[in-house]
Each structure stands twice: as C-alpha cells, then as structure tokens.
Structure 1
Amino acid sequence: MAWPAPGSAADDAVIPLRAAIGAAWENDPVRQELAANTQSADARAAAAKSWFAGGPILTASYSDDRAAGTNLGYVTWQGGVSVPLWLPGQGTATEHLAQADAKAALSRVEVERMAIAVRVLEQGGAAILAERRIIAARMIERSMERLAAMTSRAKTHGETTGVEAQAVNAQLADTRSELAQAEEDQARIRAELLSLLGVAGLPDILSAQTPWLARIPTNNLQALENQDPRVRSAHRAVIAAQEDMHLARSSFMPNPEVGIDAIDQGQYGSPWATQVGVNIRVPLPSDVTHTPILSAAQNRLASATRAEVEARRAVHNELVQVLARVQAAREMLFQSQTSASQTMQRADSLERSWQLGETPLIEVLRARTEAWRSLLTLNQAEVAWHSAIIRVCISTGTLP
C-alpha cells in the first residue's frame, strides 16, 4: 500500500532531521538560560584569580571633646584601608570550583540538546501519524460513501432493506466523525510542532533506515553509557561537588584582613600629631561558622553522587529498551503490513460478494472497520519503526 509523501502542502515542507533539531534548539528558551549559567561560571573562575579574597575595606572615624561639653580642642581623625586575604588553598579551590561549575553548565547544554532532539522526534512522529490517520479516514469514507450510494440504489429497486441502509449511513457518520477528530488532532499537533521548531514544516522522520544502525556499537553498552550526555552531566556535577568540598575545607575560618591606618589628632596645648600604622584582623576558627559550610558541601556531594548512580541506571535501562524496541518495531511493521494487506483484500472480496447477494451487508461493514483499524495499526508501526531507529541514534550520539 503506497502512502502519499508527507509535506504536500506549502506549509508542510519536509525538513531534514538535523535541520529540524537545529531549528528547535535555536528556538529553545532554555538555551539562553544555560548560556547565561556558563558565562556566569566563567566569570566566577576569572574573578577567583584575584590576589585578595574580596574588595578593600575602608574605615574612618572622627571624634572631639565638644560632645562632652569641655570643648578644649581635643580632635582626632582616623582612617584606614584593609583587604581580606585568601586562606591557604582557598583561592585555588574557589577557581577550580568555578571552572567545574562552568563545565557542568556546558554538559547541561548537551542534555538539553538531547531532550530537544527527542521532542522533535516525538512531535514529528505525531504529526505524521495525524496526517496518515486523515488519509486512512478519507479512504474509508470514500468506501462507505460508495456503499451508501449502492445501498440507496438497491433500496430504490427493492433489493435491500431499510435496516441495511441505516447501518451503512450510521457507519458513514462514524467515519466522518473520526475524520473530523483526526483533522482537529492534526491542527493541534501542527501548532505544537510549529511552536517547537519556530518554522513551518515536518521533520523527515521517515528517512531513517536500517543502515543507520550500523554506526552503533551495540556490543559495548558501557561505552555508550559513558557517552550519554546525561551521564556526563551527572559526572560533571559530582566533580563540581567535590571541588565545593575542597573549598569548604579550605574555608575553615573567616578570612583575615591586613591594612594600614592613619591617625591625625590634636590636643589642648600640644602640636598636632600624625601616626601611621598597620592593622591586622584575624577572626579565629569556630565550628559555629565552619560546620554549616562543610555540611552544605557534604550534602551537595552526596546528592550529586546519588544523581550520577541514578543517571547511569536510567541510561542503561533506556539503552536496553530502545535497542529491544528496534527489533520489536521491525517485526510489528512486517506483521502490520501483512494484516493491512489481507484485511483490505478481504473487505474488497466481501463487497463484491455482497453485490452478488452472497454475503450480508453487515459483514462488509465489519470488514471495512477491520481494514480501517489495520490501516491505523500499519501507520503506527511504520512511524514506530523509523522513530525507534532515530531514538537509538539520539541515545548513542550517532545521528547521521
């Protein structure tokens, strides 16, 4: 059975699969967020190369004896500037954490690209199924209209009963109702696909063929798991959590400060005096401040480790499932082709037999209904076969 090529209308042009995925990626709002995350992590890594742990701190004070009521000319001006210092290893740990966060953000970009590719595949397959469903419904509608016309003529000549005519008209009404529902579903799916891609068109799902599978090293699932963007992203998150742990251990106390002070003071009956000195401020370590920082880093590392284990398990199960789906989809396609061909031939044979008065009309209607269902099953099996090939390629990073 030959189906018309999808994308016959002007706004349904077939888009190559890679081009469709690229268009969806450019149209994805999450891409902007991930790009901002990467840029901010890079900026933190650059800032961590500073000589000091923070910006300079300015202090100033002024005092005199007028507030006390004596007003003898005691005046003191004092000012200073100090900078916080890195603790041993803290600056390097801060830089490494920012770099690890930047790499983790980049790995999340690949995960999002994979998710976009899967969405394009699902929406594209749904759009093709909706179009095939309309085509099949119109084919059955024409068959029912022909039966209705023949039944009407036979009733006029007294060759059939009104009950049979009513059965045909009822089946025709059901077919038209299915057609209307299919057209509504198609409009909805097309709108969703346009929103996803940002351009009108259908992804070329049906271009996927068996030779695509030759690229996949199915005998080494471990290597495929390690290449999966979700596993790489989870592993990058673990590395970032480990760097956060190093930073927490290096930040065992508040940062000390060192600076210079200048004092200018005047006293009653004495000349003005100016002093310049060095000030050092060293907060002592305390579990009250360090323990929450260390605990937060430990929790982050534990959560990232758990997420990596879960990601590896999920990816392993998915790879096994999609590889099995390819085999099952191939067999389902073959069987559905046979079923659709046989049911269509049976429906045609019963219609000819009914015209000769050898078969009740109700059997013809049942045969046409079975043929309709077989056509739908064939559509689903064909799209599932091509989609299974693409899904394996997406999961293994081998999309042509």
Structure 2
Amino acid sequence: MPRLFLAAACAAALLAAGQRDAAAQQTPLSRPPLAVPPEVNPPAPVLRPPTPAPRRAPPPREEPPPPPRARRAPPPPSGPPPMESAALARDLDAALSIDAVARAIQGQREAVRSRDAQVRSPIAGSPAIGSSFRSDTRGPRLANEWDVELGAPLWLPGQRSALAGTVNAGVEEQERRLALRRLELAGLLRDAYWAVGAAESELRVARDRLATARDIGRDVQRRVELGDIAETEALLTRNETLAAELDLARAEAAVQAARAAYRTLTGGSEAALLPPGTSAGMAGARPEPALGEATPHPAIRAAEAALATAEARARLVRATPIDNPELGLFTRGQGGPATENGTSLGLRVRIPLPTEARNAPRRADAEAERTRAEGELIQARRVIEGEIGLARLGLAAAGRNRQLAAQRRAVAEQQLTAARTAFRSGEIGAFDLFRVRQLQIEAAAVEARAEVEAGRARSRLNQALGLAPRG
C-alpha cells in the first residue's frame, strides 16, 4: 500500500513537470499563462500615455542627457537683439542739417509763416495813393482841378480767419514734412549703420580665421618636425594662412568703405560708430526706443496735414467769392476864374461783383487738391500697415535664424575642438582637420550675419513704425 501511494505521487509530479515544460514552449500567439511584466519592455509605457506616472523617469534611450552644444549655446534673446547707440540721434541731426530736401522744407516753412504778417494787418492788402490834375482847354489859368486819394482793400466777412487757417495749416504741414524727412534720413542712416556692422562682423570672423589658421599651422609644423606627417601637409596650412590673410585684407577694406559711406551721409560725423568709452562717442549702447504705435507715423501725420491745408484753402476760396473791395478817401481842389474856387473831401468805394468765370476754376482747383490729399492719406495708411506687418514677420524670422545660427556655431566649435584633439593624437590628418575648420568658419560667418540681420530687422520695424532715433 505505501508503495502504491509513492508511485502515484511520483506520477503526479512527472505530469506537472510536463505541463510546465509545455507552457514554457508555447508561442506568443498561444497566450501563455504568465504575462510579461511591463517593466521588462520599456517602450510599452512610453507608447501608452495614460499608464506612466507624471514624474516617472523615462528610459535613457528615450531622452538622452543634453548634449554639450545645448549647454554652450546662448539662450534665446528675451529682449530686442540689436542695439542702437544713443549717438545715432546726433549723427541723424548732423545728416539733417546738410540735407538739401530738409533745408528746402525749412525754407518753405518760413515762407508760409511769413504770411502771418498779412493776417495781422488791419487791411486786406497794401494801401495806395493816387493823384490827378485836370485843366480847362481854354488855358491852365481859367479852370484847374486836382485831387489826391488814399485807398486800401477791405477784408471780406470771414476772409481773415480763413487766411489765418491756411497759414497755421501750412506751417503744420511743413513741420510734419520735416519730421517725415527726418524719418527717411533715419532709414538711410540705419542702413549705413548696419552696413558698417556687417562689415565689422566679417572682419572679426576673418581675424578669428587667421588666428586659428596660424595656431593650427604651429601644430602641423610641430608634427612635421617630429616626422608624424609629410611635409606636403604643411603646404596646406600655409595655403590656408595666406587665404585667411587675403580675406582679412578684404574685410578691412570693406569696413573702411562702409565707414566712408556713413561719414558721407552724416557730413563727417560718426559718433554712433565710436566705442562706448570714447568722449566723442556714445555714452553707452542702449536699445532702440520701445516699440509702440501710440504716436501716428510721420507719413500719416504729413498726409493729414496736407489734407488739412487743402481744406483750409477750400474754406478760403469759399470765403472770397469776389476780389477785395476798396475804400478810398480823397480831397479835391478847384481854382481859376472859370470855375469855383475851393477844396472838397470825399469817399470812394469800389466793390467787384462775383462771376462764375472767376470762382469756378478756383473751386475746382481747391477740390482737386483736397481730393488728392485725401487719396494720399488713405494710401499712406494702407502702405504703412503693410510695411509694419512685413517688418514684424522679418523680425521674428531674424530672431529664429539668430538662435539657430548660434547653436550651429556651438556645435561647429565642439567639432573643431574634437578634430584638433584627434589631429594632435594622430587619429586624423590635416585635410580632415581643415575640412572641419571650414565648417566652423562657415558657421561663425552665418552667426555674424544673423546677428546683424536681427539688428537690421529691429531697425526696419522701428522705421516702419515711424520711430526715429532720439538722443
């Protein structure tokens, strides 16, 4: 009996072992009884967003540690990337003082302002003195008559106030035209300013290229002397050094040309281009004025002033349907045996009559001028709105390009550092080193251009908004 119980137990154990072996050999399609735990398969929690905990660390291969370039790259600019010097306003004043268009506008403003003397006058024009003498045909001693007259034109009702309105509107129009011309010169000055900045950035890249070429040349020459590399590879270094020197000479000439063009525009002043510490230069760099649209654009203000002037002239035309009447005071004397002897006084009035031949052309000219000014105002508003929109898009694009260019240069510098280390250890040759060096030069040049373009984009936006540099 005990032997029978022992045999049954052994058979049961052998049967259980066989079932476990069969379960272990089942395929995935046969649904094994023991499911694979989730932590054994890392991608599973990542692909199902509801299951992973918010603070659970993902697998290392999903989020590798930040590369060195992310730590070395400059952060995105939080404020305006470019800087405009405070001395730019002084250079703008110097350019405005020698500008022919601005001087003509100032002269026209004084000419319009001089008409205020007529408004202050009690009469509508210049007084006149007249005299006449008459003698009888029988002889000068028988009948003589003479008279002397003093006359002056009179103001029509409302004419004086209408004329004062044209003077005020004309002066305001010239003032706004001068402000618009100042903004136009600011645009030219900003272009010249950033042209100098672009030339100087290329000069810095050229100097850096020459310095690095000479540094690499020393490493190559040291390895040539040690016999690690052939003498022909030193010629590659010499070629790169000569090319860097040539680019440096060209960059220096471009800087001098850009500065000369800037001085030509300002009449010799270049305060904005001087270093911050100089006495004649700026008192430190500062950002451009804050972007805002509270103040209307000078072009819109000038168009509004032109429309106001046209409307004032139309009111003056309506207030003067006739020429000014004239009032004269005269005295008359008579003498001789054939006439009465004595002196008399009198008044004489001359009132012109209105005619359509006189008034129709004047009304038509005034209406045509008003219509033209109104159309120019509508067009100015439409064009400025479009320019502001394009300038904002350009500024956003320039900011993104500047950030990407900075990251690219950081990566290129890491590549160059690694390549130089590999070259010193003999892992790569000079050709591979200079290939990596060329990538770093291109990245540095692109970053320099991106920085200048970011500054130029901010200046263009300020120009579109009508913001001129202020001291």
Determine which of 88, 107, 110 is the counterpart of 1:20: 88
Partner of 2:287: 208
Q: In structure 2, give the amino acid aligned to 1:369.
A: Q
Answer yes or no: is 1:62 the counterpart of 2:130: no
Determine which of 129, 143, 151 is the counterpart of 2:212: 143
Residues in 1 aligned to 2:438 and 2:355: alpha-carbon distance in whole angstroms: 79
Q: Secondary structure at the match of 1:48?
A: helix
Query: Which stretch of the first structure deviates more once superposed, 304-313 or 164-173?
Result: 164-173
**CA-to-aligned-CA distance 1:314-370 (integer Å, 9 cap, x gap):** 221122122223322221111010112222333444455455565454444444333
Partner of 1:315: 384
Deviation at 1:260, TM superposition (A): 1.6
**CA-to-aligned-CA distance 1:96-150 (integer Å, 9 cap, x gap):** 1111112222323433343344444333333333222212101111223345566
Determine which of 31, 41, 48 is the counterpart of 2:112: 41
Q: Which has the larger radius of gyration?
A: 2
Q: In structure 1, give the amino acid aligned to 2:353.
A: L
Q: 1:75 to 1:149 in 2, by over 3 A?
A: farther
Deviation at 1:60, TM superposition (A): 2.3
Partner of 2:407: 338
Partner of 1:9: none
Partner of 1:220: none
**TM-score, L = length of structure 1:** 0.78
Residues in 1 aligned to 2:119 and 2:200: alpha-carbon distance in whole angstroms: 56
Determine which of 168, 189, 196 is the counterpart of 1:99: 168
Residues 340, 378 of structure 1: 8 Å contact kept = yes
Q: Secondary structure at the match of 2:115?
A: helix
Q: 1:75 to 1:331 in 2, by over 3 A?
A: same
Q: 1:71 to 1:61 in 2, by over 3 A?
A: closer
Residues 201, 449 of structure 2: 8 Å contact kept = no
Residues 57, 81 of structure 1: 8 Å contact kept = yes
Structure 1 portions without partners, runs of 5+: 3-14, 217-223
Q: In structure 2, give the amino acid aligned to 1:385.
A: A
Residues in 1 aligned to 2:240 and 2:142: alpha-carbon distance in whole angstroms: 110
Deviation at 1:192, TM superposition (A): 3.7
Residues 329, 381 of structure 1: 8 Å contact kept = yes
Answer yes or no: is 1:51 the counterpart of 2:125: no
Partner of 2:454: 385
Q: In structure 2, give the amino acid aligned to 1:98.
A: V
Structure 2 portions without partners, runs of 5+: 1-71, 74-82, 274-281
Alignment of 1:151-230 (within 5 A): 159-160=229-230, 162=232, 168-195=237-264, 196=266, 198=269, 200-202=271-273, 207-208=286-287, 216=292, 224=293, 227-230=296-299
Residues in 1 aligned to 2:283 and 2:398: alpha-carbon distance in whole angstroms: 18
Partner of 2:149: 80
Residues in 2 aligned to 1:167 and 1:63: alpha-carbon distance in whole angstroms: 112
Residues in 2 aligned to 1:329 and 1:256: alpha-carbon distance in whole angstroms: 67
CA RMSD of aligned residues (A): 3.7
Q: In structure 2, give the amino acid aligned to 1:58.
A: I
Residues in 2 aligned to 1:363 and 1:309: alpha-carbon distance in whole angstroms: 61
Deviation at 1:308, TM superposition (A): 0.8
**TM-score, L = length of structure 2:** 0.67
Deviation at 1:227, TM superposition (A): 2.2
**CA-to-aligned-CA distance 1:163-190 (integer Å, 9 cap, x gap):** x566554444443332222212222332
Percent identity over paired residues: 21
Answer yes or no: is 1:248 the counterpart of 2:317: yes
Partner of 1:221: none
Residues 225, 316 of structure 1: 8 Å contact kept = no
Residues 186, 469 of structure 2: 8 Å contact kept = no
Q: In structure 2, give the amino acid aligned to 1:54.
A: G
Q: 1:205 to 1:390 in 2, by over 3 A?
A: farther
Deviation at 1:246, TM superposition (A): 1.1
Residues in 2 aligned to 1:150 and 1:160: alpha-carbon distance in whole angstroms: 13
Residues in 2 aligned to 1:140 and 1:151: alpha-carbon distance in whole angstroms: 16
Kindly tell me the number of residue pairs found equivalent between the two proteins. Answer: 376
Partner of 1:11: none
